Amino acid sequence: MSPAALLDLHLRSKSWPGQPPLLGPLDLSVNKGEVVALCGPSGCGKSTLLTIAAGLDPAFEGEVRLAEGAKLSMVFQTPRLLPWRTAAENVALALGGLGRADMQAAIEALVALGLEPDSRPARLSLGMARRVALARALVVRPDILLLDEAFVSLDQASASLCRDRVKAEIEGRGMAVLMVSHDGADLDDLEARRLVL
């Protein structure tokens, strides 16, 4: 692992039972302050590669290494919010609880993305729910952020706001990003290095 790398992924093979290999061989490093975009047609394994990088799919041949002490968070294709919690409570839970400090950090993260902290998931549009999910991922101040089509279904202004928040974390803290997006505006605005699968 190079000194600048926050994430190293060495994939020999990933396949589903009874199917030919979907991915591999593949070597990928994501450095501090870098954005890497996984590109390719639907079904080529982009989201699968993200779940492997996140440590959520151990059924592969190879190795994933994070820099010592590196914190990772992920925004999934679906927001995965708890419907009985407010937006602020959904975000605060990522910090470990609903105490005053956690709730205040959650409120600030949501306001920065133009959201009402007291909103319930059932009253949010899909685009708003995606912004809550991004706030939840960013509030923990990750070293590595995984984005799986995180800005899809957002209007242009909301997508730009979300990209600006991500860029602020990249520029301010050197956060690394590994992302899936089919939107050229996302890739261009975040100055992503493209990896075609």
Under-50 pLDDT residues of the chain: none
Predicted local confidence at residue 170, as pLDDT: 98
Predicted local confidence at residue 153, as pLDDT? 85
Q: What is the pLDDT of residue 108?
A: 98
Task: Give a three-class secondary structure readout of 143-173.
Answer: CEEEEECCCCCCCHHHHHHHHHHHHHHHHHH
79-90 pLDDT, tens digit each: 999 999 999 999
Q: How far apart are CA 169 and CA 43, in angstroms?
A: 30
Cα distance between residue 183 and residue 187, in whole Å: 7
Domains and CATH numbers, the chain: 5-196 (3.40.50.300)
pLDDT for residue 78 = 94
Q: Is the peptide bond before 25 cis (omega within 30 degrees of 0)?
A: yes
Nearest-angstrom CA–CA distance, 124 and 115: 10
